[in-house]
Amino acid sequence: MYFGVNLLGLAQQPRDQDMQERFAELVEWVHAVRDAGFDHFTMGQHYLTAPFQQFQPVPLLARLIPETGSMHMFSTLVAPLQKPVELAETWASLDVLSGGRVGMCLALGYRDEEYAAFGIDQKTRVRRQRELVETLIALWTQDEVTAEGLDFSLDRQTVTLRPVQRPHPPIWIAANADAAVQRAARWGLKWNINPHATHETVARQVQLYRDAWHEAGHAGEPTFPISREVFCAETREEAVRLAFPYLGQKYAAYGSWGQDKALPGNESFQIPLEELAGDRFIIGDPDDVAREIGRYQEIGIDRVHLRTNWPGMPLNTALTGMRLFASEVAPRFRPGTEA
At 74-93, the pLDDT tens digits run 999 999 999 999 999 999 99
Name the average pLDDT for the chain.
92
244: enclosing H helix or E strand: helix 236-257
Question: What average pLDDT does this structure show over 235-258?
Answer: 82
In total, the chain counts a number of residues equal to 339
Per-residue pLDDT band for 338 (boundaries 50, 70, 90) equals very low
Q: Are 38 and 5 in contact (CB under 8 A)?
A: yes
Question: What average pLDDT does this structure show over 187-205?
Answer: 93
Q: What is the pTM of this model?
A: 0.88
pLDDT of residue 41: 95
Half-sphere exposure of 112 (CA within 13 A, CB side): 4
At 15-65, the pLDDT tens digits run 999 999 999 999 999 999 999 999 999 999 999 988 889 999 999 999 999
Q: Are 224 and 300 in contact (CB under 8 A)?
A: yes
What CATH architecture applies to the domain 2-333?
Alpha-Beta Barrel (3.20)
Rounded Cα–Cα distance for residues 68 and 91 (Å): 17
